[in-house]
């Protein structure tokens, strides 16, 4: 039994954004908010359409992986965007959302949140949030983007293979028992609206660059780049204003790492 106001009315009341969530749906249970958003976008749903759920039966991660999505404890949402941005810059939306989520979580919980480039939020070395961005095309040739976010808020039973790399906000700070998911969601949307505006004005990540790099995990530390074409190690030097991770290898080469097929790890494990 849920004790917070995590429902259509509760979320609607908290939202103070100008255009994010101008169309809002809430599902007690859904296959995947990204899948539903994609279907809605195909049918012409407007920029800013927000789809929220309490439970996902087929929550998705990158590259066909799944996202554990039990009921009553977490936040799952997908946002439909029709950005005024050339298509090859769309990956900047993932970086932008990661920044907005991390900033809003830190600001509302006091927890030290870090970003594992490009799309995870990590607290004390464990993943608390994942972001999945997917692109689709309109019949007129334009494109839309669905940015999906899952955030672990309350303690829950994680599958054994996740137990040592996943956590929730409340697991990290027991004082967050009363944290309202609706409030947190609304704060994230506020942060995203501001960050998105900055992306549209600059047409790159200049406006959030310093703040993103400040929250970036392993900055100026050694990382291992899991590139399907060959793994390598180097020092992570932060992201560029177009969202690539800069990694300096042993011979002094500065490699620009593109997201997509690549994962980055700390030298001793997940982070
Ligand atoms: P990588 O670090 O390899 O790039 P990723 O962060 O891109 O991985 P995602 O696709 O974002 O991975 O997320 C899917 C993965 O996240 C799953 O394979 C699983 O390991 C982990 N995961 C699934 N559900 C949860 C959850 N509720 N909380 C934390 N981690 C989860």
Given this model, what pLDDT does residue 62 score?
A: 85
Given this model, what pLDDT does residue 253 score?
A: 96
Asked, as a colleague might, if the bond just before 118 is cis with ω within 30 of 0, I would say: yes
Helix H segments across the chain?
8-14, 33-42, 92-109, 169-172, 181-202, 206-215
Q: Which domains does the chain have, with CATH numbers?
A: 8-213 (3.30.930.10), 219-266 (2.30.30.100)
Question: How distant, in Å, are the alpha carbons of 98, 125, 152, 217 from that of 115?
Answer: 7, 10, 15, 6
Largest CA distance in the chain: 57
- Which protein residue's CA is at the shortest distance from atom 8 of ligand 1? 263
- Which protein residue's CA is at the shortest distance from atom 20 of ligand 1? 162
Share of the chain above pLDDT 70, in %: 99
pTM of the model: 0.96
Q: Burial of 132 by CB count in 10 Å (0-12 exposed, 13-18 middle, 19+ buried)? A: buried
Q: 32: left (phi > 0), else alpha (psi -120 to 50), else beta?
A: beta
Evaluate if residue 56 carries a pLDDT over 90: yes
Q: Which of 68, 65, 93 is nearest to 80 (CA)?
A: 93
Given this model, what pLDDT does residue 1 score?
A: 45
Lowest mean pLDDT among 1-5, 170-174, 175-179: 1-5
- Which protein residue's CA is at the shortest distance from atom 31 of ligand 1? 67
Task: Determine the distance separating the centroid of ligand 1 and the alpha carbon of 130, expressed in angstroms.
Answer: 6
CB atoms near residue 94 (< 10 Å): 20
Dist CA 50 CA 25 (whole Å): 6
- Which protein residue's CA is at the shortest distance from atom 21 of ligand 1? 67
Dihedrals phi, psi of 151, to nearest 5 degrees = -125, 125
Evaluate if residue 160 carries a pLDDT over 60: yes
Q: How many residues does the chain have?
A: 271
Supply 192's token pair: 């995203």
3-state secondary structure of 252: coil
Evaluate if residue 81 carries a pLDDT over 90: yes
Q: DSSP letter at 93? A: H
Q: Which of 100, 145, 153, 94 is nearest to 123 (CA)?
A: 153
Evaluate if residue 191 carries a pLDDT over 60: yes
User: Is 120's C-beta closer than 6 angstroms to any atom of ligand 1?
Assistant: yes
Mean pLDDT for the stretch of residues 175-199: 97
Task: Determine the distance separating the centroid of ligand 1 and the alpha carbon of 162, expressed in angstroms.
Answer: 9
Task: Determine the distance separating the centroid of ligand 1 and the alpha carbon of 227, expressed in angstroms.
Answer: 17
Q: Burial of 212 by CB count in 10 Å (0-12 exposed, 13-18 middle, 19+ buried)? A: buried
Mean pLDDT for the stretch of residues 127-146: 94
pLDDT confidence band for 3 (50 / 70 / 90): low
Stronger pLDDT, 57 or 262, i.e. the higher one: 57
Structural contact between residues 79 and 48, judged by C-beta atoms closer than 8 angstroms: yes
Task: Determine the distance separating the centroid of ligand 1 and the alpha carbon of 3, expressed in angstroms.
Answer: 27
Task: Determine the distance separating the centroid of ligand 1 and the alpha carbon of 8, expressed in angstroms.
Answer: 27
**Residue pLDDT, tens place only, 192-248:** 999 999 999 999 999 999 999 999 999 999 999 999 999 999 999 999 999 999 999
């Amino acid at each position: 039994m849920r004790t917070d106001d995590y429902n259509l009315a509760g979320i609607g009341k908290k939202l103070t954004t100008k255009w994010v969530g101008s169309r809002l749906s809430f599902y007690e249970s859904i296959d995947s908010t990204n899948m539903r958003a994609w279907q809605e976008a195909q049918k012409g749903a407007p920029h800013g359409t927000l789809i929220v759920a309490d439970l996902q039966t087929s929550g998705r991660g990158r590259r066909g992986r799944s996202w554990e999505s039990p009921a009553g404890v977490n936040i799952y949402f997908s946002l439909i965007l029709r950005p005024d941005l050339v298509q090859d810059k769309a990956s900047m939306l993932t970086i932008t959302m990661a920044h907005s989520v991390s900033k809003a979580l830190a600001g509302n919980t006091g927890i030290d949140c870090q970003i594992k480039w490009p799309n995870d939020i990590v607290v004390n070395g464990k993943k608390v949030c994942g972001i999945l961005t997917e692109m689709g095309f309109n019949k007129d040739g334009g494109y839309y983007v669905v940015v999906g976010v899952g955030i672990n808020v309350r303690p829950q039973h994680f599958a054994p293979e996740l137990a040592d790399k996943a956590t929730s906000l409340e697991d990290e700070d027991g004082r967050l028992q009363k944290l309202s998911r609706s409030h947190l969601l609304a704060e994230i949307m506020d942060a995203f609206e501001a960050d998105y505006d900055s992306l549209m004005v600059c047409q790159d990540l200049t406006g959030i660059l310093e703040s993103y790099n400040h929250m970036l995990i392993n900055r100026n530390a050694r990382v291992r780049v899991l590139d399907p074409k060959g793994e390598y190690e180097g020092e992570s030097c932060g992201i560029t204003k177009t969202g690539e991770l800069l990694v300096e290898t042993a011979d002094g080469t500065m490699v620009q790492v593109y997201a997509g097929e690549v994962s980055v790890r700390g030298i001793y494990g997940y982070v």
